[in-house]
Amino acid sequence: MIEYYTKEMAQEFASRWLPAWSGNHPELLTSFYAEDAFYLDPAIPQGIRGKAALLTYFTKLLARFPDWKWTQRDAIPMEGGFLNKWNAVIPLKNTKLEIDGVCSVQMRDGLIKRNEVYFDRTELLKLI
């Protein structure tokens, strides 16, 4: 069954999900994903599948960036989920990098079944 998300539903979900990206709590973040979820971002363009693989990846990623903060700029409803426009503030060395990006979020039974994250990581790679 296809779930239809309104802008308000997407905003409510993001208000719980995006804070889980901060604070180095990979188990909490992984709890938002389905057992067979697919995830990709610029660091893993081939993607990964499954909650166990996500936990391994998120454990390394969140340990590397424990203090970053994610906020939703906008949500655009799509069939089965939403397009999430976001902003991330990433403390690095003696500076803070601010990045805007977008991700598609496809849902099933209240959990993310597919999450594809896109942003220009040129500035991030210069600083790490």
Residue of 103, 79, 104 whose CA lies nearest to 3: 79
Q: Does residue 114 lie within any of the structural domains?
A: yes
Residue 64 belongs to domain spanning: 7-127
**Angle at alpha carbon of residue 56, lines to 118 and 86, rounded to 5°:** 25
Q: What is the pLDDT of residue 93?
A: 80
Asked if 18 contacts 72 with a C-beta cutoff of 8 angstroms, the reply is yes
Render pLDDT for 21-67 as a digit per residue (tens, 0 to 9).
Answer: 999 999 999 999 999 999 999 999 999 999 999 999 999 999 999 99
Q: What is the pLDDT of residue 83?
A: 97
Q: Does residue 2 lie within any of the structural domains?
A: no
**121: pLDDT strictly greater than 90:** no
Where residue 37 sits, what CATH number does that domain have?
3.10.450.50
Higher pLDDT, 24 or 5: 24
Q: Does residue 32 lie within any of the structural domains?
A: yes
**128: pLDDT strictly greater than 80:** no
Model pTM score: 0.91
SS3 106: strand
Report the chain's mean pLDDT, rounded to a whole number: 92
Render pLDDT for 66-76 as a digit per residue (tens, 0 to 9).
Answer: 999 999 999 99
Q: Does residue 52 lie within any of the structural domains?
A: yes
Q: Does residue 26 lie within any of the structural domains?
A: yes
Q: Does residue 67 lie within any of the structural domains?
A: yes
**99: pLDDT strictly greater than 80:** yes
- Number of domains comprising the chain: 1
